[in-house]
Amino acid sequence: MKDTQIKKLIEAEKKRQKRVINLIASENYVSKDVLEALGSELTNKYAEGYSGKRYYGGQTFVDKIEDLCKERALKLFGLNSKKWAVNVQPLSGSPANLAVYLALVPKEGKIMGMSLDHGGHLTHGHKVSATGKFWIQVPYGVNKNTEQIDYEEIKKIAIAEKPDIIVAGYTAYPRKVDFKKFREIVDSIKHTDPNKKTYLMVDMSHFAGLVAGKALPSPFDYADVVTTTVHKTLRGPRSAMIFSKIDSREINKKIDKAVFPGLQGGPHINQIAAVAVALKEADTAVFKKYAKQIIKNADTLAKELKKLGWKIISGGTDTHLILMDTWMEGKGISGKEASDVLEKNGIIVNKNTIPNETRSPMDPSGIRLGTAAETTRGKKEKDFVLIARKIDKILRSH
Ligand SMILES: Cc1ncc(COP(=O)(O)O)c(C=O)c1O
């Protein structure tokens, strides 16, 4: 690279990534093949539209790449192309979620999603996000005592509010989600207007790799729409996909229109090629083993931290992530301080609010830990026992 300034910074970041213990729950380390596809000449190509229906010439190979990516996405999650469609053009998770609402939720309609401080994502209707400005959020949270989803409570809210869409799947919720129960909740909503319908959307951004690796239950038997980022547990490039059921309302066609021309121009074909590479990598026995190891490692980390006296939200984890209450009602250390002091000692985490947060989002009561990135680097349970002890030592000596 001739640009020495950028080259140096990339080299420095590469070294930083190698040096630290990375416990950011939404990050991972992609393969060389994924990087190669991302950095290829495909970035030169404009391809507005969809395969076979583009607005520019020269699409012979681009169409093949996008078709292959879609085929691999459906295959990875065991989906029949007559029953499910997939759009692989969203640039990232937030625009993917926005596209679904644009397609399925009427103006000023209701999005029922988990509130941010209980573990939901900004794009589940939070007021600072476009999704909370154009639509109305009906928030739900976790049970105060169990710190887990309370399906009865959600049912009550859903029946009273009759939202246009219910979003399941979160950013900072460490437990398995019961998609069947969500389906039952959606089906129990009775609209007086026969044209109205409540859709069930699962945002599996965080745990897509765990579903792909058959380490967590799949949402596809119950959801109408499934969105996901590709860059977390699925270990692909920064990108997103939207899966939709092919039904009489043609929601897949509405979603395609919402992505392009509704929200985007030309798709990033280099990114789509890199997604295709990651999907093939995820469709292997090695990846299945990896997905199971992620969960074993998270479980070990949570149990060890608990043993050392720290409060783990909901009492543990079923996934790749752990929400740790570092503040412990003033007996511990704030989330910001914890994150800062851990970084000084080579452990990278993110500060995070906890359910029923009493502090501010910039200096909350907790931190979020994830095991996907370090599991990619080959770490096992015994390594996570040592990581837990290191975290404990650093936080207590602060
Ligand atoms: C559940 C969930 N949905 C959507 C997103 C948004 O993804 P992106 O940052 O790619 O826009 C995130 C990001 O962390 C997420 O956790």
- Determine the distance separating the centroid of ligand 1 and the alpha carbon of 191, expressed in angstroms: 30
Give the C-alpha distances (Å, rounded to integers) separating 158 from 152, 190, 191, 302: 10, 10, 11, 33
Active site residue 140: no
Among protein residues, the one whose CA lies closest to atom 8 of ligand 1: 93
Active site residue 203: yes
Kindly give, in sequence order, each residue whose CB lies less than 8 Å from that of residue 211, ignoring residues fewer than 6 positions away.
77, 204, 217, 218, 219
Active site residue 224: no
Task: State residue 248's pLDDT score.
Answer: 86
Catalytic residue among 27, 48, 283, 337: 48
Task: State residue 398's pLDDT score.
Answer: 80
Task: State residue 307's pLDDT score.
Answer: 98
Residue of 229, 238, 241, 319 with the most ligand 1 atoms within 8 Å of its CB, for mutation: 229
Using left for φ > 0, alpha for ψ between -120 and 50, and beta otherwise, residue 214 falls in left
Among protein residues, the one whose CA lies closest to atom 9 of ligand 1: 93
| Second-level CATH architecture of 33-282 | 3-Layer(aba) Sandwich (3.40)
| pLDDT digit string (tens) for the chain, length 398 residues | 999 999 999 999 999 999 999 999 999 999 999 999 999 999 999 999 999 999 999 999 999 999 999 999 999 999 999 999 999 999 999 999 999 999 999 999 999 999 999 999 999 999 999 999 999 999 999 999 999 999 999 999 999 999 999 999 999 999 999 999 999 999 999 999 988 999 999 999 999 999 999 999 999 999 999 999 999 999 999 999 999 999 989 999 999 999 999 999 999 999 999 999 999 999 999 999 999 999 999 999 999 999 999 999 999 999 999 999 999 999 999 999 999 999 999 999 999 999 999 999 899 999 999 999 999 999 999 999 999 999 999 999 98
Catalytic residue among 238, 280, 292, 389: 238
Active site residue 306: no
Map out the domains of the chain as residue ranges.
19-30+285-396, 33-282
Give a three-class secondary structure readout of the chain. CCCHHHHHHHHHHHHHHHHCEECCCCCCCCCHHHHHHHCCHHHHCCCCEECCEECCCCCHHHHHHHHHHHHHHHHHCCCCCCCEEEECCCCCHHHHHHHHHHHHCCCCCEEEEECHHHCCCHHHCCCCCHHHHCCEEEEECECCCCCCECHHHHHHHHHHHCCCEEEECCCCCCCCCCHHHHHHHHHCCCCCCCCCCCEEEEECCCCHHHHHCCCCCCCCCCCCEEEEECCCCCCCCCCEEEEEECCCCCHHHHHHHHHHHHHCCCCCHHHHHHHHHHHHHHCCHHHHHHHHHHHHHHHHHHHHHHHCCCEEHHHCCCCCEEEEECCHHHCCCCHHHHHHHHHHCCEECEEECCCCCCCECCECCEEEEECHHHHHCCCCHHHHHHHHHHHHHHHHCC
* Ligand 1 pocket, CB under 6 A: 26, 92-94, 97, 121, 123, 169-171, 203, 205-206, 229
Q: Rounded to 5 degrees, what angle do the CA atoms 134, 140, 145 make?
A: 160
- Determine the distance separating the centroid of ligand 1 and the alpha carbon of 257, expressed in angstroms: 21
Residue of 205, 207, 232 with the most ligand 1 atoms within 8 Å of its CB, for mutation: 205
- Determine the distance separating the centroid of ligand 1 and the alpha carbon of 229, expressed in angstroms: 7
- Determine the distance separating the centroid of ligand 1 and the alpha carbon of 227, expressed in angstroms: 10
Catalytic residue among 229, 233, 319, 376: 229
User: For 110, what's the count of Cα atoms within 13 Å in the CB-facing half-sphere?
Assistant: 17
**What pTM was computed for the model?**
0.97
Residue of 98, 124, 171 with the most ligand 1 atoms within 8 Å of its CB, for mutation: 171
Note whether 307 and 334 are within 8 A (CB).
no
Instruction: Tell me the β-bridge partners of 166.
Output: 112, 200
- Determine the distance separating the centroid of ligand 1 and the alpha carbon of 90, expressed in angstroms: 12
| Ligand 1 atom closest to 124 (CA) | 3
Task: State residue 123's pLDDT score.
Answer: 98
Task: State residue 72's pLDDT score.
Answer: 98
Is 42 assigned a ligand-binding role in the annotation? no
- Determine the distance separating the centroid of ligand 1 and the alpha carbon of 206, expressed in angstroms: 8
* Phi, psi (rounded to 5 degrees) for 37: -65, -40
| Domain spanning 19-30+285-396, CATH class | alpha beta
